[in-house]
């Protein structure tokens, strides 16, 4: 035991960086990409750290990758706290300058990230050119606890964990079809008429959130002829004029080739939540970007609610 304690005293932050990335990604190759090193370097640093501590931190297998042992889970808590302290110290000294700087990674739902968030973030980085931002518009949740992102925009409110969150905005979805579709099929005058039309929907067992499974709850007894895990794929499929799709208004309304169907009768309202870990929420770049995202969401309420097809911008 005394030998292990002595070796623990020789640890440094660089050792813990490698450990944290492997713990979060569960793959040496994925950790290597995030650290910008070769995967053999990551594996070697993990072995050296385990030797320094006199314990095994990961169970390793080809199938499951690097899985934390009990000692690994204990070290993770300490390493995570060290990382937070390093970030806070760096921010404190960086804060002595006037300019905003640093890196931020934002996870978002796919449609919102591509159609709304990216153009707004482009305006932000044009003004704050010492801030670099990764936008992750993916059809699944990103993990704040694993530091896959510093901030997240999600369909569901975080239920547990050390997070700060707020409701970013409401948004609406409506049923849309292309103008070509209606030229061939004719007008739809009642909800009952829809049972004769093909639809585009999510792959139910692969949907990352129950909030996405709104088609059959909104329009019962209809059939999807095409399914996709991607709302952007559904958007482009609807433009081909062969089926109808429920789409976010902020995606569909700006496109004159898409026409809302029974807009007063078929409407779905959902919410976006903005969240961040407590330990990074007070960083200047996070505070500034957080306030900016809330401002642009407020300024674009008509677009998000399907009342306008025009995007508004706010001075960052």
Residue boundaries of the structural domains of the chain: 2-94, 103-316
> 66: which 2 tokens?
């690097």
281/285 Cα distance (integer angstroms) = 9
What distances in angstroms separate CA 117 from CA 2, 124, 268, 284, one per listed residue? 53, 11, 21, 20
- pLDDT, position 7: 45
Cβ count near 14 (within 10 Å): 9
Asked whether residue 152 carries a pLDDT value surpassing 80, the answer given is yes
- pLDDT of 100 reads 78
CATH architecture for segment(s) 2-94: Orthogonal Bundle (1.10)
Average pLDDT of every residue of the chain: 88
Q: Tell me which residue has tokens 């002829």.
A: 225
* Host H or E run for residue 5: helix 2-8
Contact 306, 299 (CB under 8 A): no
Domain 103-316, CATH number (from 3.90.230.10, 3.40.190.290, 3.40.50.261, 3.90.420.10): 3.40.190.290
Say yes or no to pLDDT of 2 above 90: no
pTM for the model: 0.75
Q: Are 262 and 175 spatial neighbours (Cβ–Cβ below 8 Å)?
A: yes
Q: Is the pLDDT of residue 26 over 80?
A: yes
Virtual torsion, Cα 122, 109, 305, 315, nearest 10 deg: -20
Output the six-digit token pair for 89. 């110290």
Average pLDDT over residues 169-177: 98
Model pLDDT, residue 88: 67
Res 82: pLDDT: 78
Say what the pLDDT of residue 291 is: 97
């Amino acid at each position: 035991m005394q030998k292990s304690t002595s070796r623990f005293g020789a640890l440094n932050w660089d050792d813990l960086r490698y450990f944290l990335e492997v713990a979060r990604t569960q793959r040496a190759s994925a950790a290597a990409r995030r650290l910008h090193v070769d995967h053999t370097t990551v594996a070697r640093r993990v072995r050296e750290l385990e030797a320094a501590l006199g314990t095994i931190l990961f169970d390793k297998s080809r199938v499951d990758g690097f899985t934390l042992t009990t000692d690994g889970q204990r070290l993770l808590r300490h390493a995570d706290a060290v990382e937070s302290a390093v970030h806070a110290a760096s921010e404190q000294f960086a804060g002595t300058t006037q300019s905003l700087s640093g890196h931020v990674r934002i996870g978002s739902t796919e449609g919102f990230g591509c159609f709304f968030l990216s153009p707004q973030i482009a305006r932000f980085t044009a003004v704050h050119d010492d801030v670099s931002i990764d936008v992750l518009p993916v059809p699944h949740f990103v993990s704040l606890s694993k530091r896959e992102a510093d901030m997240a925009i999600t369909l569901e409110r975080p239920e547990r964990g050390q997070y700060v969150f707020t409701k970013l905005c409401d948004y609406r979805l409506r049923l849309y079809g292309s103008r070509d579709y209606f030229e061939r099929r004719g007008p739809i005058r009642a909800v009952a008429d829809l049972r004769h039309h093909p639809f585009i929907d999510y792959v139910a067992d692969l949907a990352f959130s129950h909030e996405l499974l709104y088609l059959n709850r909104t329009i019962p007894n209809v059939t999807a002829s095409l399914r996709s895990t991607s709302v952007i794929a559904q958007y482009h499929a609807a433009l081909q004029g062969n089926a109808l799709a429920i789409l976010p208004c902020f995606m569909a309304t700006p496109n004159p080739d898409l026409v809302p169907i029974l807009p007063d009768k078929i409407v779905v309202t959902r919410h976006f939540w903005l969240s961040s870990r407590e330990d990074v929420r007070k960083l200047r770049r996070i505070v500034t970007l957080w306030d900016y995202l809330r401002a642009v969401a407020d300024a674009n309420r008509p677009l998000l609610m399907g009342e306008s097809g025009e995007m508004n911008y706010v001075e960052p």
